[in-house]
């Protein structure tokens, strides 16, 4: 069953995330639009950790999109950069933080590690 963007963000716990660059720090606000309302999620990235709260406070980067786009992001059906290029989401602020979202949201369901692909090709 598909996971909604809000459910995914609720499950994110404050903990160390080694996939995030050590030197990356900043705040990201995700604005999930759904009809006439907007949910604000506030992510703080520091020391390879991620803290998630609900807040409309100003942030270093603000990402706005329809709830459906965020749902597809957390299901791995689309990626952040693809959605940006399709104009499905807009960003304002420090774009370098946008790449952190690629490391927070899951990748495509059928994604495989490049080393596994290389090993398979050697076996053939």
pLDDT band with cut points at 50, 70 and 90 for residue 112:
low
What is the dihedral angle through the alpha carbons of 66, 39, 102, 48, rounded to the nearest 10 degrees? 170
- pLDDT, one tens digit per residue, over 60-88 is 999 999 999 999 988 888 888 899 999 99
Q: pTM (2 decimals)?
A: 0.79
Q: Which helix (H) or strand (E) holds 61?
A: strand 61-66
- Identify which has the larger pLDDT, 117 or 28: 28
Domains and CATH numbers, the chain: 5-123 (3.30.1050.10)
């Amino acid at each position: 069953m598909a996971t909604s963007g809000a459910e995914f963000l609720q499950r994110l716990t404050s903990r160390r995330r080694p996939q995030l660059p050590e030197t990356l720090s900043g705040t990201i606000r995700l604005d999930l639009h759904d009809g006439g309302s907007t949910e604000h999620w506030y992510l703080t990235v520091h020391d390879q950790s991620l803290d998630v709260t609900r807040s409309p406070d100003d942030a270093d980067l603000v990402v706005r999109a329809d709830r459906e786009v965020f749902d597809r992001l957390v299901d791995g059906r689309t990626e952040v950069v693809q959605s940006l290029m399709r104009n499905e989401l807009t960003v304002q602020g420090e774009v370098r933080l946008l790449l952190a979202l690629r490391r927070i949201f899951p990748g495509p369901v059928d994604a495989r590690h490049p080393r596994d692909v290389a090993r398979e090709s050697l076996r053939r």
